[in-house]
Structure formats: C-alpha cells, structure tokens
C-alpha cells in the first residue's frame, strides 16, 4: 500500500485507486476519512491489530461490497460506512458497545446485520435508507431508538424491540413501507413525531400505558392501519397524528371502543387544528371537538354510550349540550336519547331547552320522540299538563 499514509499506527489517508486492498499488520486505527469516497474500492482486509475505525473512514465507497471487522475493534465512529451503497455484508465485533450516528446510513444493499448483545446505544440515522434490510433485532440493554434510526428502510418487515427501550425518536421508522407488525414494549413512555409515518402495511398498533402524548404525524399515512389502542395515560394527540389513515375503522381510547364515523374525528384532526387554538396539541378532553366542525357528532355519543359515567366526556357534552342533543333530535336517535333522559346527568340543562326540542319533534311529525320528551318533562321536571302530550 504505497499510496497509504500511516503515522504512529494510524492509517491517515489512502490515495490509491486499487479495487482490493489489504491493510498491513501493525495498523491500530483507520483514521477519519482514510478511504473517503474511494469509489473503485470493492474489498478491504482489515488486520487484527486494528481497534478503531474512524469517522467517515469508508464513507461513499460506493463499490465496497463486504467488510470483516476484526474482533479487537472496540469502536466504529460516526458515519464510518455512510453511503456504501454496494455493502451487503458486515460483521460487527462482540466488544462493540455503541453503533454511532449515521454509521450505515444509505447502505442500500445491506440485507442483514447482527448487532452484538453488548450494544447499549444505537445513534440517530444509524441504519437510515438501508433499503434491503428486512429484519432487525435490537439487543437488550438499548434504552432508546433515536430519531431516523430506521427511516426509509423500505423492505424492513419486522423489528424486535427489547423491554429495555423507553423511547422511540422522531421518524424512527418513517417510510418503512413494508413493516407489517411491531410490538412496542410496555416500558416505552415517549414516541416522537412521524415515528411510524408512511408505514403503509402496518395494520394494528397498541400504544403502551405510560405514553402521555401521541406526537404530530406519528402515524401519518399508515394506510393499512385498521385498529389502534390508546391508553388512559395519553393526554394529548398531536396535529395529523392519524391523518390519511384511510382504513382506520376501530379505535379504543380511554377504554372506550369507538368505531366507524367516530374514527373520522381522528383522521380529520389535522384539518381542524389549523383553525383551533389547540393548534399543536389537542387535550384528550377535546378529542371529539373536531366533529363539531365537520359534523362528526356520532363520535361523542359513541363515547357516551360506551361509558356514560365518564366525567371527562359528560363534562364536554354539558359544555356543548344544545348542539349535541339537537343532533340526536335531528337524527331521530331514540336509543341514545332514552339513555340521556334516564341518566339524570343533564336534567338541569333540559329545563331551558326541552320546550324547543318538543316543538322540533312536533314540527317534524316525530310522534314517538314527542312522547319521550314530554313524558320526561312530566316525570323529571314536574310538568303536569297531560293534554299537551298530544298537541298537534
């Protein structure tokens, strides 16, 4: 390697154009940018004496196909193999404890990689745009999946996340188009923006207890997503969190199971929040407020039917009672109206409003509705003019 510059055991720079290189014994470190953009380099043999591979050491070696990293290598620095587009096979030594940021960013041909059990940290963008990567097991001990870690891994179908993980960063799995299933451990308390955006084959997701917010665009354009379970711990849902989840038909939130039209409230959230004072986060208490702008009243009543005693939901209904109950009259929803009349939680509100609703029932020739309301008025509000029951 006459074209190499070696100083005190550090291979500082290779300036040759060979396709196959053997690094001489005695070299202990491959320095920063040592082989940077050696586009003709296909194979490299690294001696057992090497203990460190430096920052950007093999970055943009677009023809490099395989690397065997010796067992004595303790550290592989950031972006060491960035955009090695032909790299399909790499072995990481067991003594490595950290995969630094951008280490394999843009390694489009990398089909599989084994991460040693001793690894406790995987940096941001570490495997971003590894298009051929199909599966990945994150070792026990890793506590955080950093932002962009697997972004654009378009053929990734499965990821095993250990119980040690407590946070999933921004765009961590964004544009993993082939990801069909993922289990988020119970210990996860934070999921960043766009974390699962454009995971188009993801069909269901359960968000663990402990997560307090679903950030903006978390599940944006997950067009295969059909069901979501959101725990009681969630207090805010970010803008566009479920936007364009066109197949989403079932949501369980606050232990309430909401289906069909109710789900549209989640999908249309981004449009609503542009006009809302809650433009970044909408508190779960306002979860159903969007439908008042977009006529999705079924959602608020679906929640009430599931759990009439939920004070958060009934409190919200009381605030919007005139419009919300008026919707039930308009839709002639006798079943829900009967439940509302029987529960006793809105008696004080009916006193000033019920006459108008009785008139609406008469005007629209809804005799059964008229009888329900007038009987309620007689029994609960002290109204006694029985002849008025049959007013035409």
pLDDT, one tens digit per residue, over 52-81 is 999 999 999 999 998 999 999 999 999 999
pLDDT at 43: 94
Q: What backbone phi and psi angles, to 5 degrees, belong to 227?
A: -145, 145
Domain residues of the chain, as ranges?
1-107, 167-314, 320-392
295 vs 297: which has the higher pLDDT: 297
Query: How many other C-beta atoms can be found within 10 angstroms of the C-beta atom of residue 323?
Result: 10
Reported confidence tier of residue 299, pLDDT bands at 50, 70, 90: low
pLDDT at 262: 40
pLDDT at 231: 85
pLDDT at 283 over 50: no
CATH class of 167-314: alpha beta
pLDDT at 251: 72
Reported confidence tier of residue 190, pLDDT bands at 50, 70, 90: very high
pLDDT at 288 over 90: no
Reported confidence tier of residue 385, pLDDT bands at 50, 70, 90: low
pLDDT at 305: 78
Closest CA to 282 of 270, 294, 293: 270
pLDDT, one tens digit per residue, over 127-176 is 999 999 999 999 999 999 999 999 999 999 999 999 999 999 999 999 99
Q: Do domains 1-107 and 167-314 have the same CATH topology?
A: yes
Say how many residues make up the chain.
392
CB within 8 Å of 178: residues ≥ 6 apart: 134, 154, 155, 156, 157, 201
pLDDT, one tens digit per residue, over 351-372 is 889 999 999 899 888 999 999 9
Residue 6's DSSP bridge partners are 11
Reported confidence tier of residue 119, pLDDT bands at 50, 70, 90: very high
pLDDT at 173: 98
Specify whether the CB–CB gap between 354 and 319 falls below 8 A: no
**In CATH, which superfamily holds the domain spanning 1-107?**
Ribonuclease Inhibitor (3.80.10.10)
């Amino acid at each position: 390697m006459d074209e190499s510059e070696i100083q005190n055991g550090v291979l500082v720079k290779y300036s040759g154009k060979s396709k196959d290189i053997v690094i001489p014994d005695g070299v202990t470190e491959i320095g920063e940018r040592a082989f940077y953009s050696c586009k003709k380099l296909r194979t490299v043999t690294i001696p057992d004496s090497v203990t460190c591979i430096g920052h950007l050491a093999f970055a943009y070696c677009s023809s490099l196909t395989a690397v065997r990293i010796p067992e004595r290598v303790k550290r592989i620095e950031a972006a060491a193999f960035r955009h090695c587009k032909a790299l399909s096979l790499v072995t990481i030594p067991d003594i490595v404890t950290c995969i630094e940021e951008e280490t394999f960013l843009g390694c489009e041909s990398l089909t599989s990689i084994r991460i040693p059990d001793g690894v406790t940290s995987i940096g941001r963008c570490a495997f971003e745009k590894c298009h051929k990567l199909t599966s990945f097991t994150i070792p026990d001990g890793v506590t955080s999946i950093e932002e962009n870690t697997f972004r654009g891994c378009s053929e990734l179908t499965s990821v095993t996340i250990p119980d040690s993980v407590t946070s999933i960063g921004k765009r961590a799995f964004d544009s993993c188009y082939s990801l069909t299933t993922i289990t988020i451990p119970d210990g996860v308390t934070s999921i960043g923006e766009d974390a699962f955006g454009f995971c188009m084959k993801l069909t269901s997701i359960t968000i663990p207890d402990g997560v307090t917010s679903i950030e903006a665009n978390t599940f944006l354009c997950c067009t295969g997503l059909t069901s979501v379970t959101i725990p009681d711990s969630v207090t805010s849902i970010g803008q566009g969190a479920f936007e364009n989840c066109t197949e989403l038909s079932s949501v369980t939130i606050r232990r309430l199971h909401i289906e069909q039209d109710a789900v549209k409230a989640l999908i249309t959230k981004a449009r609503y929040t542009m006009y809302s004072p809650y433009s970044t986060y909408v508190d779960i208490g306002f979860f159903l407020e969007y439908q008042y702008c977009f006529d999705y009243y079924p959602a608020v009543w679906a929640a009430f039917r599931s759990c009439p005693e939920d004070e958060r939901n009934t409190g919200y209904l009381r605030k919007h009672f005139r419009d919300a109950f008026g919707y039930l009259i308009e839709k002639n929803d006798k079943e829900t109206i009967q439940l509302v009349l029987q529960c006793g939680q809105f008696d004080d509100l009916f006193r000033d409003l019920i006459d108008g609703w009785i008139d609406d029932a008469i005007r629209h020739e809804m005799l059964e509705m008229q009888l329900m309301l007038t009987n309620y008025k007689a029994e609960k509000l002290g109204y006694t003019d029985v002849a008025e029951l049959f007013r035409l």
